[in-house]
């Protein structure tokens, strides 16, 4: 078995992939074969009936989060290192065993303690934890804690699709929003346990854990990436188990030509109870992976996790995070016709140059998580309400090329990131230890050394 096309022809592999995409509205194919045909994005979406055609071209396969059976609740943890993006590929054994593994064990312990059933999948950069909350199992409780912006409601109602999909039911959007809030609750527990393990027990090998890819000094960390919940549900998808992973082949300019040349196409696998050494070898060996697909341990059925998530929901409702979300929802953004005298009236001379630069040069700077978190911290210190910080970001997101009608939503993206980074600050979990000029300089975010400002003022 020489390549991914032959791998995909194995009936056991096809059966496992079909298990995971059951109920998906659409699938996505991604890979070198697309770029060879002039598709610079490297991907395209299609109905699930196109699965075999995608396999025959050796593409990575993703499934939509939007589905017919329930809300897919997925936690994505991944190692990141902005200075050495190829590290996870070139030194996979060291990264997985010594850097990701301590966090992986914390994730599994949190899910176990909360009673959440899940499917764990090893990816090219970390792990996914999947569970399903079926629409038939008290899904209304998940919908109740969700919140949809008016602009997003209109996108769902007026959705237009090249594949003829119908408008997105609002209950699916609400469940998706509620899933983010429960995942944030779980992720904060993971972060606190990781902090305890690292700081209180002085175990230095536990690297920092952050939401998304915050640039840090030193540069590496484990990201609890919830950004799949930052956009309309119909815009997001997730890599499936037994799909190939060729991101490093397509994004050579980002990850490194040497990585694309040296590292073979990998395979995303359900972990079962397979030892990490075996998993790391198997995901780079098509025959071993196809043999594993015949093993009952390799089931890719997404488990019904609703009982566990109902338990999480009960704890969430008694939490300060829930209070934060309720306060956030109770405040409205300033009306767009008033932005000139509200959000746009902020005196940027009062901000450090690094923050002002990301605001006056929004493409791409204001969209970067490190800059977003910094702006949130500064405006919160200046006395702004968190919802108006989101409104400020929304006013600067709107009009950027990403946020065209029927695709990404600027208001939703702004609200998401302020909840993501604002809640840990509000709760006192994020003490902003890297909110200082030295850390920002080392991470490459200082644009004017010795500017006269000190980022520590805004901790």
142 in the same domain as 12: yes
Q: Which distant-in-sequence residues (6+ apart) come within 8 Å of 450 by Cβ?
A: none
Q: How far apart are CA 323 and CA 143, in angstroms?
A: 17
Domain containing residue 391: 332-458
353 and 294 inside one domain: no
Tell me the CA distances in angstroms from 124 to 12, 55, 129, 297, one per residue in order. Answer: 21, 18, 14, 20
**Which of the four pLDDT bands, split at 50, 70 and 90, describes residue 217?**
low
pTM for the whole structure: 0.95
* Bridge partners for 71 per DSSP: 133
Residue 324 forms part of a structural domain: no
pLDDT of residue 204: 63
Q: Is residue 229 part of a domain?
A: yes
CATH number of domain containing 140: 3.90.920
Q: Predicted confidence band at 242 (pLDDT cuts at 50, 70, 90)? A: very high
Q: Give tens-digit pLDDT for 418-440.
A: 999 999 999 999 999 899 899 88
Q: Which DSSP symbol is given to 170?
A: H
300 and 344 in a single domain? The answer is: no
The least confident of 34-43, 133-142, 302-311 is 34-43
Question: Can you give the pLDDT at residue 398?
Answer: 94
The count of structural domains within the chain is 2
CA–CA separation, 205 and 16 (whole Å): 35
Q: Which stretch of 7-11, 206-210, 245-249, 355-359 has the lowest confidence by average pLDDT?
A: 206-210
């Amino acid at each position: 078995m020489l390549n991914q096309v032959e791998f995909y022809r194995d009936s056991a592999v096809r059966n496992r992939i079909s298990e995971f995409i059951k109920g998906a509205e659409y699938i996505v194919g991604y890979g070198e074969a697309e770029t060879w045909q002039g598709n610079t994005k490297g991907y395209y979406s299609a109905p699930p009936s196109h699965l075999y055609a995608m396999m025959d071209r050796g593409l990575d396969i993703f499934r939509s989060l939007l589905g017919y059976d329930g809300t897919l609740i997925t936690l994505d943890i991944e190692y990141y290192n902005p200075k050495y993006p190829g590290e996870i590929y070139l030194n996979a054994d060291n990264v997985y065993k010594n850097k990701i593994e301590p966090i992986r064990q914390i994730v599994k312990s949190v899910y176990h303690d909360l009673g959440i059933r899940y499917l764990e999948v090893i990816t090219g950069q970390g792990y996914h934890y999947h569970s399903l909350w079926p629409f038939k199992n008290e899904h209304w409780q998940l919908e109740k804690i969700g919140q949809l912006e008016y602009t997003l409601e209109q996108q769902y109602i007026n959705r237009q699709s090249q594949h003829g999909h119908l408008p997105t039911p609002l209950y699916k959007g609400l469940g998706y929003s509620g899933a983010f809030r429960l995942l944030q609750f779980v992720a904060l527990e993971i972060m606190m346990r990781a902090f305890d393990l690292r700081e209180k027990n002085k175990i230095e090998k536990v690297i920092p854990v952050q939401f998304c890819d915050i640039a840090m000094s030193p540069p590496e960390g484990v990201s609890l990436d919830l950004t799949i919940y930052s956009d309309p549900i119909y815009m997001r998808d997730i890599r499936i188990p037994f799909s190939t992973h060729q991101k490093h082949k397509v994004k050579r300019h980002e990850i490194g030509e040497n990585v694309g040349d040296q590292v073979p196409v990998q395979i995303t696998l359900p972990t079962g109870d397979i030892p990490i050494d075996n998993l790391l070898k198997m995901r780079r060996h098509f025959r071993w992976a196809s043999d594993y697909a015949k093993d009952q341990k390799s089931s890719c059925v997404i488990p019904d996790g609703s009982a566990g998530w109902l338990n999480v929901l009960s704890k969430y409702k008694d939490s300060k995070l829930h209070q934060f979300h309720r306060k956030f929802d109770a405040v409205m953004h300033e009306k767009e016709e008033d932005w000139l005298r509200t959000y746009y009236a902020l005196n940027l001379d009062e901000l450090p140059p690094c923050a002002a630069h990301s605001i006056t040069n929004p493409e791409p700077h204001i969209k970067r998580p490190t800059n977003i978190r910094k702006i949130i911290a500064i405006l919160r210190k200046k006395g702004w309400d968190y919802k108006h910080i989101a409104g400020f970001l929304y006013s600067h997101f709107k009009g950027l090329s990403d946020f065209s009608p029927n695709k990404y939503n600027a208001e939703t993206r702004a609200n998401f990131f302020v909840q993501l980074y604002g809640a840990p600050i509000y709760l006192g979990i994020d003490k902003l230890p890297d909110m200082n000029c030295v850390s920002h300089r080392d991470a490459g975010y200082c644009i004017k050394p010795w500017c006269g400002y000190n980022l520590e003022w805004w901790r």
